[in-house]
Amino acid sequence: MPEKKTSSKKKTTKKAVALRYDRGNNSAPKVVGKGQGLLAQRILDLAAEHGIPVHPDADLVEILSLLNLNEEIPPETYVLVAEILAFVYRTNQSYSPAKT
């Protein structure tokens, strides 16, 4: 029987957190979706399908994944999230959400 090679590398599980910010109704962005593994991939796929920009930041995802759904992001993350939102707005000025 052949010997199985074991890897010293840790297998990481993909994680994703979706935020929504409605300037008129919220004081800060809220977590509107989160998941890991297949659910994280589905969140990323939906973002791609709808032209929603994705910003990969494993450290931020770790922090935001601890929040509950519909919970506003903590003040400690405001600056980082604001920088991401500014980048998104600058690079995608033509994006307008689909009306439902």
HSE-up (13 A, CA, CB side) for residue 56: 3
Query: Sign of dihedral through CA atoms 71, 74, 77, 79?
Result: positive
**What does the pLDDT read at residue 6?**
47
pTM for the full predicted model: 0.71
Domains, the chain, with CATH or none? 15-91 (3.40.1690.10)
CA distance linking residue 57 with residue 84, whole number of Å: 10
Q: How do residues 9-36 score in pLDDT, each as one tens digit?
A: 566 789 999 999 888 898 888 999 999 9
